[in-house]
Structure 1
Amino acid sequence: MLRVLVLEDDGDLRSILCELLSLSGADVCVSAGSLEELRRKGPEALGCGLALLDINLGAGVPSGLDAYRWLQDNAFPGKTVFLTGHARSHPLVREALELESVQVLSKPIGSGALLALVGDASDGTGTRQS
């Protein structure tokens, strides 16, 4: 059973992503709009095999990179994919691109890309190796 974590500050986009993930084969979508909400979901979020994290969650609040660090500090076993609407020159995007074992995709993300991510995570090729 594939569980996917979606961290996205735009509630409508978060809902659409969860619907598309379900249509792509994900069994459960755990969604959060902020790092604080993600932390409250704790074990439910940490039990996911794939995490889709919006890099920029708004001005003056923790970013998707902060969420990534929280996941790593709590032994998240799955694959991490950052989503961004920013150019590669944006400081948060540059930082994400320097990380190992993550992927950075531009918004809007197509249904084919979601299908591939779910397929990879479902067959185990998306799981991070230690």
Structure 2
Amino acid sequence: MQRVLVLEDDDDLRTLLCDLLVASGAQACVSAASFEAMVRQQEQVLQCELALLDVNLGARVPSGLDAYHWLRENGFEGRVVFLTGHARSHPLVRQAHELTQARVLSKPVNAKELMALVRKPDGSHDA
């Protein structure tokens, strides 16, 4: 069983993702709508084994890339998966693809792929 962080600025999508992940076997879902909301939940966030991070959290606010770096700087050792609705050519998406310890999935996300993330017990990093 895993604890999962979902950082997503779209309220409906964030709720849907958490519901799906818990239904797929996640022990708990820590939900955050912004970088700041994630940091406020630091203790619970850093106990997660999987982080789903929206690449773009809005204009002129910290991005999912900022969240990734904060997580790693604070000792997060779990798997990271970025979610994006942007093209691969978008600067943030390009940066996310360059990270070797993360995976990038395009929205809309395939439900089976999400469920498989929760069920993957070995903590492997897919490229």
Pairwise TM-score range, normalised by the shorter structure: over 0.9
Q: How does 1:98-109 map to 2 (within 5 A)?
A: 98-109=98-109
**Alignment partners' CA distance in 2, 1:23 and 1:78:** 20
Unpaired segments ≥5 residues, structure 1: none
* Contact persistence 1:50–1:126 (CA under 8 A): no
Q: How does 1:83-122 map to 2 (within 5 A)?
A: 83-120=83-120
Task: Quote how far apart the aligned CAs of 1:106 are.
Answer: 0.2
Unpaired segments ≥5 residues, structure 2: none
Percentage of identical aligned residues? 61
Letter in 1 for 2:123: T
Letter in 2 for 1:105: L
Equivalences, count = 126
Deviations 1:50-88 (A, max 9, x none): 000000000010000000000000010100000000000
Runs of 4+ in 1 over 4 A off after TM superposition: none
* Contact persistence 2:78–2:123 (CA under 8 A): no
* TM-score of the aligned structures, taking structure 2 as reference length: 0.95
Aligned to 2:123: 125
Q: CA RMSD in A?
A: 1.3
* TM-score of the aligned structures, taking structure 1 as reference length: 0.93
Q: Secondary structure at the match of 1:47?
A: coil
Letter in 1 for 2:124: G
